[in-house]
């Protein structure tokens, strides 16, 4: 029997590596519209990086990814991902935190919103009908590993049209949640 090496690994720097791994980065200029106040921020601030190994969109196939959110605030507002619904609302997802502290913001289709605390080794099962957004409230990179069906799709527009109803700030080291105005 031949013993082979796995296709993917998390080497010492905690970043997903493997032949078929790709990544993209979001800079402040790409996502400034999601923040309450974008004044004074450098357009070239790195906000987050998403590594993934993605399969063809065939039922039963799974993607694997890693999101690394930088410990940045935007005029006090904590760094966050754009957030999305899945295009196929039957497609669930798992998130596992490998480093850092923050929140997983969840919102149902009626707009009700709540959060789960994200901390090292917290494991989050996300119902397919929930929008999801990661927020780094800590002082270090937050790393969250994800597994989701390759047929999920990402619906970002739905979040743009019906945004999460809260914003998360860090004020004097404390996390403050504010209603979106």
Q: Which residues bind Fe ion (CB under 5 A)?
A: 93
Smaller CB separation from Fe ion, 77 or 93: 93
Compute the least distance from the CB of residue 93 to Fe ion, in Å.
5
Compute the least distance from the CB of residue 155 to Fe ion, in Å.
10
* CB neighbour burial string for 92-108, b if at least 16 within 10 angstroms, e if fewer: bbebbbebbbbbbbbbe
Query: How many other CB atoms are found less than 10 A from the CB of residue 155?
Result: 16
**Cα distance between residue 169 and residue 181, in whole Å:** 14
Smaller CB separation from Fe ion, 89 or 166: 89
Compute the least distance from the CB of residue 136 to Fe ion, in Å.
17
Compute the least distance from the CB of residue 152 to Fe ion, in Å.
6
- Of the candidates 12, 180, 168, 14, the one whose C-alpha atom is nearest the C-alpha of residue 96 is 14
Smaller CB separation from Fe ion, 32 or 82: 82
152 in Cβ contact with 91 (< 8 Å): yes
Smaller CB separation from Fe ion, 57 or 176: 57
**What are the tokens at 30?**
């790409």
**What are the tokens at 67?**
């999101």
- For the chain, the residue count is 181
> 141: Cβ–Cβ under 8 A, 6 or more apart, which residues?
68, 69, 70, 71, 99, 100
Compute the least distance from the CB of residue 81 to Fe ion, in Å.
10
By beta carbon distance, the residue nearest Fe ion is 93
Smaller CB separation from Fe ion, 30 or 88: 88
């Amino acid at each position: 029997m031949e013993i082979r090496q796995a296709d993917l690994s998390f080497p010492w720097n905690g970043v997903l590596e493997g032949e078929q791994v790709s990544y993209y980065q979001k800079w402040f200029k790409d996502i400034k519209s999601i923040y309450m106040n974008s004044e004074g921020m450098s357009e070239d601030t790195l906000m987050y990086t998403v590594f993934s190994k993605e399969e063809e969109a065939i039922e039963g196939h799974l993607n694997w990814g890693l999101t690394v959110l930088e410990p940045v605030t935007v005029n006090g507002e904590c760094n966050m991902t754009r957030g999305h619904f899945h295009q196929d609302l039957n497609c669930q997802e798992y998130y596992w935190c490998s480093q850092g502290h923050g929140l997983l913001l969840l919102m149902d289709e009626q707009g009700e919103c709540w959060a789960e605390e994200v901390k090292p080794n917290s494991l989050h099962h996300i119902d397919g009908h929930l929008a999801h957004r990661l927020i780094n409230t800590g002082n270090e990179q937050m790393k969250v590993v994800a597994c989701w069906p390759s047929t999920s799709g990402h619906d970002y527009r739905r979040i743009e049209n019906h945004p999460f109803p809260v914003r998360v700030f860090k004020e004097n080291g404390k996390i403050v949640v504010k209603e979106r105005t």
